[in-house]
Amino acid sequence: MMLLFCAMLWGGSYPTAKVAMTAIPVQWLMAFRLLLGAFVMFLLFHKHIAPYLNRRIVVPGIAVASTYYLTMLLQMKGLTTIEPGRSSFLTASYCVMIPFTSWLLLKQRPTHRNIIAAIICMAGVGFISMSSGLGNFSLSFGDVLTLLCAVSFSFNLVFLGKWAKTIDPIALTFVMFLLAGIVFALGAIVTEPAPNASWLRPNVLICLVYLFLLASMTAQVMQNIGLKVVPPAQASIIMCSEGAWAVVFSVIFYGERVTLTTGIGFVLVFVAMIYSQLRLKRSITMRPSLSSH
């Protein structure tokens, strides 16, 4: 449920970020989003975070922060040139990549079920996003950036799944936000225009609050907690439903029409999520009970 709600919040971030970037450049937006998120997290969860701020978190922190920085930079740059629905579909291709990334990094071979569920899910998100002009399947520069973002994201999720088992997920999220936010701030200072009055428009401020409080801090904490108990390949299927939610929010905010292909896509994504969990449920049912819980 945490991973599903995380996907909903991320889905809403596509149109929200699109609006925010009409006034705020990409790196400034991400710097505020991540540094504010890190600040609020430390205020709320300092008892979880402080014990892990030692030498053990350096390597995991750098690994998750660097892949997260690259993921968000590529995604936001791509989103400036393509529609939210198209961006969500291309980003969601990470759910196909994760079983293979996990195989590369953790030596966990993908099962036939992982591959079939990922294909079904991608087909569903593809149907949903066809209303955003994906029918010709041509790739623009923004599309290529977004596909590269999906590759980086698959590495980020596998790293998080690996280290969230030994490091408090809240502490790991805090370090990831802090380090990536610092890099974004340095990049913004060097390469982007300084802040101006247009950033204070009410609709832009509302988008900023959503992006740092919900889509960044809340969603990332729930994702990292979920990855402690859900294998990366199965988690990726649940979270790739963010593409469906992105289209839902695009319909609400941009007035997109829900077509037959969109309805088919929702069904396919739901089927993929259920199918990916069937084997897990069966193994839990058949395993002998070792406790009273």
- Reading the chain (293 residues) residue by residue, the pLDDT tens digits are 888 888 899 888 888 888 899 899 999 999 988 898 889 889 988 988 999 999 999 999 999 999 999 999 999 999 888 778 778 777 877 777 787 888 888 877 877 877 887 888 778 777 766 655 455 455 678 888 988 998 999 899 889 888 888 888 889 989 999 999 999 999 999 999 988 888 888 888 898 888 888 887 788 778 778 877 887 667 767 776 777 788 788 778 766 666 677 678 777 877 776 676 555 444 333 333 233 33
Q: What is the DSSP string of 52-108?
A: G-SGGGHHHHHHHHHHHHHHHHHHHHHHTTS-HHHHHHHHTTHHHHHHHHHHHHH--
Query: Per this entry, what is the length of the chain?
Result: 293
Mark out the alpha helices in 107-201 (DSSP H runs): 112-129, 141-163, 169-191
pLDDT recorded at residue 225: 81
Residue 158 near residue 106, CB atoms below 8 Å: yes
Cα–Cα distance measured from residue 215 to residue 9, given in angstroms and rounded to the nearest whole number:
5
pLDDT recorded at residue 128: 65
pLDDT recorded at residue 291: 31
Domain extents in the chain: 2-278
pLDDT recorded at residue 22: 87
Residue type, 195: P
pLDDT recorded at residue 278: 59
Number of H helices, E strands in the chain: 13, 0
pLDDT recorded at residue 236: 67
